[in-house]
Amino acid sequence: MKRTDVYVTGTSMLCSLGIGNQTVWEGILSRRESRAERTYQLRDGQRLRYPVFPMETLDARDWVDRQTHDWLQDMGLAQDADFVYLLAAARLALDEACLSIESDQAVALVIGHENAGVVPLMDRLLADPYLEGGPNGASDALTSYRRHQNAFFHVQTFTYLFHLAKALHVNGPAYIVNNACATGLYALEQGRQLILTGHADAAVVVCSDYAHVTEHLWLGQKGLISPTAELRPFDRRRNGSLLGDGASAFVLESADHCRKRRKKPVCRYAGSRFRQDHWQITLPDVSAHSFSRSIVDAIRGVNGDQLPDLLIPHGTGSPLWDHYEAVEIKRAFAELSREIPPVTAFKSSVGHTLGACSLLESALAVHCLIHDLIPPLVGYGEADPKAGLPIITSFVERRLHSVMKAVSAYGGFHAAALFTRCE
């Protein structure tokens, strides 16, 4: 029998608002301020301070047994924030799904990450006083390399797959994807396709990102960090973005697998549509209309021409990128000859979590769906007349049948995903 539907049976959210779905959702409801300043010390003694939406420090020992922790420690992964975030997010989503992975189960793993293994390597290069052999003198190049070779080895992303699959006891197909800020939606669709094609009965899809100083410096060089440390998506006063720590996971299952487990789904993941443009890696091709095409494709091809009741765009707070999104959203719904649904965004609540953002914000979208509630866009105070979007500015209780998460990302990756209520 051909599989046609894929369901969400568990999600998790970890960010500056807290650890776990309930804590994060309560933070959204209370509009809690979670921005702070992070300090990074370089090996020459310099201290770099940068604004960030920080997550509390996680201890790998809280998420695995002692034996598993010992080999993670040996591999240098127990102190790798990105890996520990992935581990914690996956565990929490599996707990919500009540899914215990057995050796004979066809469960897939899909990791979404922009820079797996890079943060520990950067820390070695920037913060380790023994980079050149010691503070009192340099050693030869080979000795220096050997000191850091494990950090270089873990930049090969298959090691993340191996160790996380081992920690979760996953025996099915495993993939790692990187599509910049659209990573989460590409990863979700990879998990869905594995289920639809019979390669797996269930899939754990998980993304994470630790807001490292090197990410802040690189984006700041591109002019995308707010000079006033304010994140105001689609607001007339917007002047840039701020980074945040984040992680999220989804457990996807086929309808048959849900029935066999007698597990009631959280919602249905209807699917996504994607478009690629290739004008510049850090700028969209405004003539290709790839973002609006992905939205139209998703509504027509995934949602049976039914409009979503809520749209959650990227909303980075960038003057240029928010304007591009607004123009493309209006173009999409003009093509459909329909009104734009209510719009909200979440980066001003949790920061820009880069490779984790589209999955984390999809989890927030799912919570909007199951609670029939649209939270306001935090930090939005002055409408941009050039945007012209129906931005939600106060909590709206409304029956939601479907919600859309859309993203226009670096690398020309444009995506739109739909989640629908299980009737």
DSSP string for 342-365: PB---HHHH-B-GGGHHHHHHHHH
Q: How far apart are CA 137 and CA 144, in angstroms?
A: 12
The pLDDT assigned to 313 comes to 98
CA 189 to chain centre: 14
In this structure, the chain runs to a length of: 423
The pLDDT assigned to 156 comes to 83
Instruction: Give the pTM.
Output: 0.95
Q: How far apart are CA 293 and CA 277, in angstroms?
A: 11
Written as six digits, the tokens of 238 are 């917007």
Type and span of the H or E element at 420: strand 413-420
Q: What are phi and psi of 319, to 5 degrees?
A: -55, -45
Burial of 52 (0-12, 13-18, 19+ CB in 10 A): buried
The pLDDT assigned to 1 comes to 52
* 90 within 8 A of 11, measured Cβ to Cβ: no
Q: What are phi and psi of 24, to 5 degrees?
A: -65, -45
CA 388 to chain centre: 27
Domains of the chain and CATH, by start: 6-117+154-420 (3.40.47.10)
Q: Any residues with CB less than 8 A from the CB of 287 and at least 6 apart, and which?
A: none
The pLDDT assigned to 150 comes to 75
The pLDDT assigned to 2 comes to 67
Say what angle helices 158-168 and 81-97 make with each other, to 10 degrees.
40
Burial of 401 (0-12, 13-18, 19+ CB in 10 A): middle
Residue 98 corresponds to which amino acid?
A: C
Q: How many CB atoms lie within 10 A of CB 355?
A: 30
Q: Residue-wise pLDDT tens for the chain (423 aa)?
A: 567 899 999 999 999 999 999 999 999 999 998 999 999 999 888 999 999 999 999 999 999 999 999 999 998 899 999 999 999 999 999 999 999 988 678 999 999 999 998 898 888 888 887 766 555 555 566 676 677 777 777 788 899 999 999 999 999 999 999 999 999 999 999 999 999 999 999 999 999 999 999 999 999 998 899 999 999 999 999 999 999 999 999 999 999 999 999 999 999 999 999 999 999 999 999 999 999 999 999 999 997 889 999 999 999 999 999 999 999 999 999 999 999 999 999 999 999 999 999 999 999 999 999 999 999 999 999 999 999 999 999 999 999 999 999 999 999 999 999 999 997
The pLDDT assigned to 139 comes to 57
Burial of 71 (0-12, 13-18, 19+ CB in 10 A): middle
The pLDDT assigned to 217 comes to 94
Q: How far apart are CA 159 and CA 186, in angstroms?
A: 20
Q: Any residues with CB less than 8 A from the CB of 312 and at least 6 apart, and which?
A: 343, 344, 345, 346, 361, 364, 365, 368, 403, 404, 405, 406
The pLDDT assigned to 303 comes to 79
Nearest residue to 405 via CA among 369, 362, 363: 362
The pLDDT assigned to 128 comes to 80
Q: How far apart are CA 181 and CA 185, in angstroms?
A: 9
Written as six digits, the tokens of 263 are 């597990």
Q: How far apart are CA 202 and CA 252, in angstroms?
A: 5
The pLDDT assigned to 180 comes to 96
